[in-house]
Structure 1
Amino acid sequence: MAEAPVPVGLPRVPAQTRVPADAVRNVRVGRQGLYDARRTLVAYEVLFHSGEKDVSDRATSQVIASTFGTFGVDRIAGSRPVFISFTRAFLTGVIPIPVEPAGVVVEISATMMVDAELLAGVEGLRHDGYRIALCDYRGQPECSALLDLVDYVKVDVPAHPGWQLAELAARVTERGRDLIAGGIEDEPTLARVLELGFGLFQGPLLEKPTVLERRTLTPTQLVCVRLLRELADPELDIIRLEPTIGSDPGLALRLLRTANSAASGTMRQVSSLRQALVIIGPRRLRSWVVLILLEGPSNASPADGLWKVLARACACRVLAPDPVDDMAFTVGLLSGAAELLATPPEVVAEAAGVSREVRDALVSGLGGAGAALHAVLAHERDDDEGIAATGLAPYAVSHAYLESLSESLRLVEEIAGVSDS
């Protein structure tokens, strides 16, 4: 049978997509190591941006999002735990913590008001499996009840004379808590706190704070608002949210990275956004959406060029030989994200932490998903020979892309309508 001719006048989307200026940004997170008595690095404390502490809800949200969603806790700390300072809203459950307990130590400032609500929140976190560290401890009497609930107590050594430091150390060790010495600047100070029973150490003598930076796509508020509405349905099948999340590459990349993180409760490599959603689950997804809104994400509308990424991903899914596994959708999504970030696809694949199969399809065009992606990219360039080289018919690719384009535009209109309702 003769191949059907390519229809005349089918729309082609320009290869370059206009991206709103606030949709792409450089994300920074500070970190400083904690060491044991043998000067072995055993954990990291993650800090807001330049290594300074910021106790606002927004700063905490940005630190969590950067650690788990942008970099991945494995990139920041490897298999070591991370210490993160949380505000009262997180500790009492007003703002849900979106990460699993594994690999996380929740820091509480000793300057925070201690009342029944805070103690109940901390007890709940311990019950859920989180480890707790009381920081900035100076012997405050109001922190006595917290000492029974925490695993670590951190003392800023330079802030205390020798006799007071010894008294604080004795008070903490009597309660069976592990001591962390902060602000270690020289060898005599390190020797002194070792004698007092401190077990973990932090300060410029061992390691100065450093700042990690990565270019990332910022999730949009409109998509998050729509997701919150849909997540309010207790009967929701989370898989139904895949197209909405796929319309926001920044959110999709963050969720892929989170699902692949060692702290998410799985050591598997994720091969699709759908698989990531199943791993994260509705409760954690809801927490992430709330966190993103608190973080202050981009106000850019998904209609400003980002719909092209969704159209590419949907077309890849239609054209893949096995659309059921949904890997091709994720390959198309990552390809679009790489274009928006002006970053090589292999860098985006590494940042998302996806499986080798997905990376090979994205970077080298291997497998059915890779062939589908290359065919769609050739269609966007108006390259019929490139399409034919993949083994797919230009007419079939054009038809799939048109349907996907129509679906992506419909979804974007629905999302944009959220702001008007």
Structure 2
Amino acid sequence: MYTYIARQAIFDRNKHVHAYELLFRDGESNCYPAHITPDEATSRLLTNSHLSQGLEDITQGKPAFINFFQDTLLHRFPTFLAPEKIVVELLEDLDVNEQLLDACKQIKQNGYRLALDDYDFDLKWQVILPYVDIIKINVSMFSQQEITERTPALKNMPIKLVAEKVETYEQFQFCLELGYDYFQGYFFTYPEVIRNKSLPSSKLNLLELINVSSAKELDFNYLNSIFERDVTLTYRLLRFINDPLLNKSNQITSLKHALTFMGELEIKKFIALLALANLSDNKPGELLKLCLIRAKFCELVSAAKREYNNPPMGFLAGLLSMLDSLLDQPMSVLVNKLPISDELKMALSGEPGNLFNYLQLVRALERAQWQLVTDYAKLLQLDELLVFQLHHQALLWGNHIHLASQSK
């Protein structure tokens, strides 16, 4: 049985990734199989998946929040994973009884952290609260007044609070001011300011780099003129290309050497990556990482469909898919500043086409919308297992390249 995994970041108050929640599904039906219980499904998925061997690859060593159902808790199933690697997430529909309470006590005594998901302030949870380290509150389920009134009592307890379903920057600010410790949702993908914000000259220079990387033929003289304005960018590019995973045997000493050795297509991608990494300096690191994963996934999908373009438009489509969030401007305005193909502009603007479908597919994977994954895989005539394999490959690549791009 194949296992599919999606992850969603949980941020701290400084918008740094604190942990990931991992979401699992059965690859045969894209849901928990109907012929077995959710507990049995969870057990199979965890034991058959690569979690026990490759959890760090998925979370980069950060804690993994994992949902557990009634029987998996009663049978102490979380204890086959290292306690420092996971947070045991108790779901809101658990039957609170003496057996469950005993299981929570023992799991807690074994060094595991417990999180209570979708906490609804029901009195039935009072007996479990002494063993809970983290409470997650779905902020979309309550009014701001209700959250304001109920949060102080929780803050008086020795627990951490997670605001879930934080979809806008305003929601993030509201929960931040109330003292929430962590935040989960897609707030980081939304522009903090949407209109009428001018771009500083430094960012315009970076957009010029993306312009160069999107042209059919690399204008080396023009490229040099941009890098001459910023020695730091040149240094970062050379450090980036010299990364051992990307270049195992040759030390690159100049841009011309890099171009000769690696070829125009790879250099164009690195230039675009470098520009995007610097554009995202004041944004959550997870935003850049998501762009990198999308870029690699769309490139792999494009290759699987034998669509070889110069430059690979799939890669650029994924890389630039969150440019509006990075630059706090509408995508419709930004795409017109870039001399990119009409097909790429259409995809980034949300107009139908193959590239747009690649982006929709990767968004469905990110959000564990398994039926949409199935639908888009069929639309693109891709084997569904291959889609998940490509996404996992892209995730590992994006994690590594993000670390390389942060090198100073």
Instruction: Normalising by structure 1, report the TM-score.
Output: 0.41
The structure number with the bigger radius of gyration is 1
